[in-house]
Amino acid sequence: MKILVIGAGAMGSIYGGHLSLHNEVYMVDKNIEVIEKINTDGLTLVEDGEDVIYRPIALESTEDIGEVDLVILFVKSLYSKIALKENQHVLGKDTYILTLQNGAGHEDILEEFVSKNRIILGTTQDNGAVIEPGKVRRGGVGKTNFGMLVDDSDKMLAKCKTVFDACGFDCKIYDNIQQLIWNKLFTNISLSVVTGILQVPIGYVVSDEYAWNMTKSLIYEALQVAKEMGLEFDENEIIERVREISISSPDGLTSIYTDLKKGRKTEVDTISGSVVRAAEKVGVSVPVHEFVVNFVHAMENK
């Protein structure tokens, strides 16, 4: 399979590296140092304490590679649109786009570039961290889950599973991928945004009654939206899971907290913002989510 991975960070490197074992894989990134390192010495993944070298082709521009079978999007979601615009020439009539990004609602952007039957949504339990340019430590190894919003008439999901599994991943196809995405989303739309606004670690949320009340309000609103979308979740189970995460990771720092702390733009539009957009589609009022999205953007602009 001819594959383009957009973004050569930790996750892009893990997938681009492994998929290059049996596929024609290109990785595009803005960091020239990363590109030169991969093309000169290979892409190094530290796996089980050992350095393993992979050989994808790293590029600053995809202008000359032609159309690809699959694009995997691994940039931060706020850069998705510009990244796809810059690489639009690789999208043919049979090209699929796969997103394993955090959050939800990515299809709203992807549909500007390919039809809905060419969009694959998913989640990954893999994780990693960049050690230096062209070298990434692969941390936890877990399932790669994906599905589509419409009927998979060309059986692309099965093709992807075969390709990914052959390169060391453990893939599962879901008939209702939104159920899985929203199940993962509840943690981000509660803990991530609240810790970001308050600039506190995860443990603070459950220790302070006002922070916890706001967190539960966000969960309740999201559950109402999910219900109208035809998704089913147990309210008590979701709340207890979020509470346990706050207790068990008292010093943990979320992505929104970290981005705001460092003066960077956040992914709030595909986290809390995805609930706002979904609520508009199904006719549910989510005033707390609207408030926190505005609050985060105001903090970004300080």
The pTM score is 0.89
CA atoms within 13 A on the CB side of 62: 25
- In the CATH hierarchy, which fold is given to the domain comprising 178-300? N-(1-d-carboxylethyl)-l-norvaline Dehydrogenase; domain 2 (1.10.1040)
pLDDT at 275: 97
Which amino acid is located at 108 in the chain? D
- What phi, psi does 213 have (nearest 5°)? -60, -40
Indicate the class that CATH gives domain 2-175: alpha beta
Digit-by-digit pLDDT tens for the chain (302 residues) are: 999 999 999 999 999 999 999 999 999 999 999 999 999 999 999 999 999 999 999 999 999 999 999 999 999 999 999 999 999 999 999 999 999 998 899 999 999 999 999 999 999 988 899 999 999 999 877 899 999 999 999 999 999 999 999 999 999 999 999 999 999 999 999 999 999 999 999 999 999 999 999 999 999 999 999 999 999 999 999 999 999 999 999 999 999 999 999 999 999 999 999 999 999 999 999 999 999 999 999 999 98
Helix, strand, or coil (residue 78): helix
Q: How many of the other CB atoms lie within 10 Å of CB of 239?
A: 18
**Where in the chain is CATH 3.40.50.720?**
2-175
**Where in the chain is CATH 1.10.1040.10?**
178-300
Q: Which residues of 189-206 are buried (b: 16+ CB within 10 A; e: fewer)?
A: bbbbbbbbbeebbbbbbb
